[in-house]
Structure 1
Amino acid sequence: MSFHMILAAVAVSVSLVAPAAAHEVTLGSLTLTELWSRATPPNAPTAGGYLTITNTGDTADRLVAVSTAQAGKSEIHEMTVSDGVMTMRPLAEGVEVPANGTLVLAPGGFHLMFMKLQAPFVEGEEVPVTLTFEQAGSVDTFLHVMQIGARGPDGHAGHDDMKMDMSE
């Protein structure tokens, strides 16, 4: 096998294991990465969206709105657990992206919430979204749809963490 054939084979194998959510969007001093969502079962009424926002500017900004044609209603939410009780609430004022800092929207914390879905989110597809910031303005981008149960933008469901007692 020639060197070029080996190099091509390595390039293909690397591309197969690279995360599907590897796109980046820049809007002023903001950089958006790891934009993803989970696939939903048929007739699911809601879905979540996640991303990382890095602000290289000296002034804080604020994510104030999200929208998509694939949902009847879209909001920015926060999930918290206190004394074993999970609560989720919309953030009417949005969420701050600190100056020279990073905001992570992820399962179990801040996230995008899509309600009244028009159709299921399908693994491997992209959900178009518009994100609006107080200072930087709006940007049209998309969320990569990972498998149901994915824990992050690499698409893994985290089954390696599961422990089962099969003894009787």
Structure 2
Amino acid sequence: MISKSLFAAASAAFLAIAAAPVAFAADITIVDPYMRVSGAMATSGAAFMTIENHGAEDRLIDAHSDIAQKVELHTHLQDANGVMKMVHVEEGFPIAAGENHMLQRGGEHVMFLGLNTVPVQGDVVTLTLTFEKAGDIVVDVPVDNDRTPEMGKAMDHSKMGHGKMKSGTGN
């Protein structure tokens, strides 16, 4: 006979896994997306996730969301003086066939610039990722400011220079 506490624990684990945000199209699956903002006065935020590619090589080439004036694919590069700078990756991110590609803090990520409203813990932001072959994938991205970084050093986006945003500019 299974004890009530064991059954309750198993049920809770199943529900947590079943409720984890996942989006997919064709051979691409988006797993465990989340967004962070630096506070109530934030003008930018970032989204992180794992992109699983179950098919041929593809490329993440763009991202869009109504929550920000501009959404870009970003990474961090070290300049000649050893200073890490965040840069827009116009060509996007290659997603190797049969591999997982992590968008993570301190590395490649989706950057929201010029937030129209600042989402708070628990909000869900709609994000459209555009892939060269798989096309558009709409992802519901929960805001999780309490999440600890999976790898590398956490980057504080509030201290990064993103330039001034003009109202009404598109992606």
Q: Same fold (TM over 0.5)?
A: yes
Change (3 A) 1:48 1:121: same
Q: CA RMSD in A?
A: 2.7
Shift, 1:37, TM fit: 1.0
Q: Deviations over 1:17-60 (max 9, x none)?
A: x4898222221111110111114311211101111111111x21
Q: Which residue of 2 aligns with 1:26?
A: 24
CA contact (8 A) 2:30 2:49 kept: yes
Q: What is residue 116 of structure 1 aligned with on the other side? A: 114
Out of 99, 102, 105, which is 1:104 matched to?
A: 102
Is contact 2:58-2:96 (8 Å) kept?
yes
Q: Secondary structure at the match of 2:9?
A: helix
Match of 1:63 among 60, 63, 68: 60
Q: SS of the residue aligned with 2:60?
A: strand
Structure 1's 136 and 14: CA in aligned 2 closer, same or farther, altered over 3 A?
closer
Which of 35, 39, 48 is the aligned partner of 2:33?
35
TM-score, normalising length: structure 1: 0.77
Q: 2:21 touches 2:140 (CA, 8 Å); kept in 1?
A: no
Deviates most, 128-137 or 77-86: 77-86
Q: What is aligned with 1:166? A: none
Do the aligned partners of residues 149 and 26 (structure 1) sit closer, same or farther apart at CA in structure 2, a change above 3 Å counting? closer
- SS at 2:143 equivalent: strand
Does 1:75 pair with 2:72? yes
Helix, strand or coil at the partner of 1:108: coil
Partner of 1:160: none
Matching residue's letter, 1:78? T
Using a 3 Å threshold, how does the CA distance of structure 1 residues 12 and 119 change in structure 2: closer, same or farther? farther
What is the Cα deviation at residue 123 of structure 1? 0.8
Question: How many Å apart are 1:80 and its aligned residue?
Answer: 2.6
Q: Which residue of structure 1 lines up, in the alignment, with residue 132 of structure 2?
A: 134
Matching of residue 10 in structure 1 with residue 9 in structure 2: yes
The answer on 1:52 being equivalent to 2:54 is no
Structure 2 contact 21–141 (Cα < 8 Å) conserved: no
Query: Displacement of 1:102 after TM fit?
Result: 1.7
Kept after mapping to 2: 8 A contact 1:40/1:148: no
The answer (yes or no) to whether the contact 2:130–2:137 under 8 Å persists in 1 is yes
1:104 offset after TM fit, Å? 0.7
Deviation of 1:9 (Å) = 3.9
Instruction: Give the aligned length.
Output: 150
What is the TM-score normalised by the length of structure 2? 0.75
